[in-house]
């Protein structure tokens, strides 16, 4: 896998675990602007076409001059000075579409938040399949205090994760919450004591994913996400099509043939993700 196109995201590839870790470290405080959006778009293209990665992790070891850990401090609003309204609308539309693309990557995405996670950073959690947080993590949506709203899927998707009452609290009041409260309301799914412990947990998840069919994992994720909010009949049809896809691609046959070995903890030679 050629990581050069996404060098701005400080990627590290662990081929043994089929794990790609992004360690964000850019700008004044990991704020996300046009350059980072370009890199994330290239990341999506890479992971949509290259099946060598089963697990993606986004995290950061960034620390401010005052010693405050930072995950993503928000969007790069400074770069928008002098932009007209149409350019701003197009820019935010691009963010919204990119966030959806990240959410739909055909692999497992873990976000490990260590430090300040505001605005765009909190919305980035909505692209994750699973989110971890250290005690230093804090989360908030300050946008309404700037005369705007969380426009990178925060308004559209946050309530599906934490419920409408908590989404309205975060989005309307701009209240900042700590890692414990974020876990309580479901914004993150697991607390870890520190960044190294979080990465250890990510490695364990990646190891489990490495043992599974990339095609089956991608099909399960696609069917589940496509079914959210749909009637039961639609959800069942999505499941049928996803299951039959694993049969038609030969993954089910590999699983049947290797059942005894799988039961003994061995990993069969799954085919490429299809």
Residue 272: its pLDDT value, please? 86
Distance between CA atoms of residues 156 and 159, nearest Å: 7
Residue 9: band (very low, low, confident or very high) from pLDDT cuts 50, 70, 90:
very high
Beta carbons of 35 and 80 less than 8 angstroms apart: no
Residue 218: its pLDDT value, please? 98
The first and second tokens of residue 209, run together, are 């994913």
Give tens-digit pLDDT for 95-147. Answer: 999 999 999 999 999 999 999 999 999 999 999 999 999 999 999 999 999 99
Q: What are phi and psi of 40, to 5 degrees?
A: -70, -35
Q: What are phi and psi of 5, to 5 degrees?
A: -65, -20
Residue 206: its pLDDT value, please? 98
Mean pLDDT, range 226-232, rounded to an integer = 97
Helix (H, G, I), strand (E, B) or coil at 94: helix
Global pTM? Answer: 0.96
Residue 150: its pLDDT value, please? 97
* DSSP alpha helix (H) spans, the chain: 34-49, 85-103, 120-124, 154-162, 164-173, 179-185, 195-210, 214-227, 232-248, 251-257, 259-263
Mean pLDDT, range 224-239, rounded to an integer = 98
Mean pLDDT, range 83-87, rounded to an integer = 97
Integer Rg of the chain from CA: 19
- Start-to-end CA distance of the chain, whole Å, equals 17
Beta carbons of 170 and 143 less than 8 angstroms apart: no
Q: Which percentage of the chain shows pLDDT scores above 70?
A: 100
């Amino acid at each position: 896998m050629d990581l050069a196109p996404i060098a701005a995201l400080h990627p590290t590839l662990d081929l043994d675990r089929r794990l790609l870790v992004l360690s964000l470290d850019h700008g004044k405080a990991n704020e996300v602007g046009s350059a980072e959006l370009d890199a994330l778009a290239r990341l999506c293209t890479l992971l949509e076409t290259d099946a060598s990665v089963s697990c993606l992790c986004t995290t950061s070891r960034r620390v401010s001059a005052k010693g405050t850990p930072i995950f993503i401090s928000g969007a790069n609003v400074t770069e928008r000075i002098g932009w007209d309204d149409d350019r701003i609308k197009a820019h935010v539309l691009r963010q919204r579409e990119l966030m959806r693309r990240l959410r739909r990557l055909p692999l497992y995405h873990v976000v490990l938040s260590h430090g300040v996670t505001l605005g765009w950073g909190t919305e980035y959690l909505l692209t994750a399949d699973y989110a971890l947080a250290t005690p230093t993590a804090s989360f908030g949506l300050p946008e309404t205090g700037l005369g705007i709203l969380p426009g990178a899927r925060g308004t559209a998707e946050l309530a599906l994760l934490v419920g409408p009452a908590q989404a309205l609290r975060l989005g309307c009041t701009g209240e900042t919450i700590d890692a414990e409260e974020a876990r309580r309301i479901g914004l993150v799914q697991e607390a870890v004591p520190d960044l190294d412990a979080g990465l250890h947990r990510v490695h364990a998840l990646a190891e489990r994913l490495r043992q599974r069919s990339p095609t089956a994992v991608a099909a399960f994720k696609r069917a589940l996400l496509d079914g959210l909010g749909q009637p039961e009949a639609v959800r069942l049809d999505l499941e049928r099509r996803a299951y039959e896809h694993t049969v038609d691609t030969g993954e089910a046959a590999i699983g049947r043939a290797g059942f005894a070995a799988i039961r003994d903890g061995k990993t069969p030679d799954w085919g490429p993700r299809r």
